Amino acid sequence: MSVVVVVATIRPLPEHRDEVLAAFFVYFSGVHREPGCILYALHEKSDRLVMIEQWESSEALATHAGAEALQALNPRLEGKLAEKTDVQVLNPLPVGADELGRLRP
């Protein structure tokens, strides 16, 4: 089993930023309870939201993609984003000191 990291960049339309954030806040508690979720953390910059995710395996990530919480979120974002969400699925490449060169479970 290999840990999977996801970086998703979401660009809300400025006039819908608060609605997009509110939708994510509702959605988070469900994702945090999903099997295999190690990290699911939202970060912000003025023009974007960045989700950093860590999953126990590609199977856990695949389950998340079809899970109830994500399926409920997508319709709430419709028409509120400036562009399609950029989702990058990455394999960890630890470098340097173990405790500093990787995300930790």
pLDDT digits (tens, 9 = 90+) for 68-102: 988 999 999 999 999 999 999 998 887 887 777 87
Model pTM score: 0.89
The encoded tokens of residue 97 equal 């000191």
Annotated domain spans of the chain: 4-90
Selecting from 3.30.70.100, 1.10.3720.10, 3.30.450.20, 3.40.605.10, what CATH number does the domain 4-90 have?
A: 3.30.70.100
34-58: pLDDT as tens digits: 999 999 999 999 999 999 999 999 9
Cα separation of 59 and 100, whole Å? Answer: 26
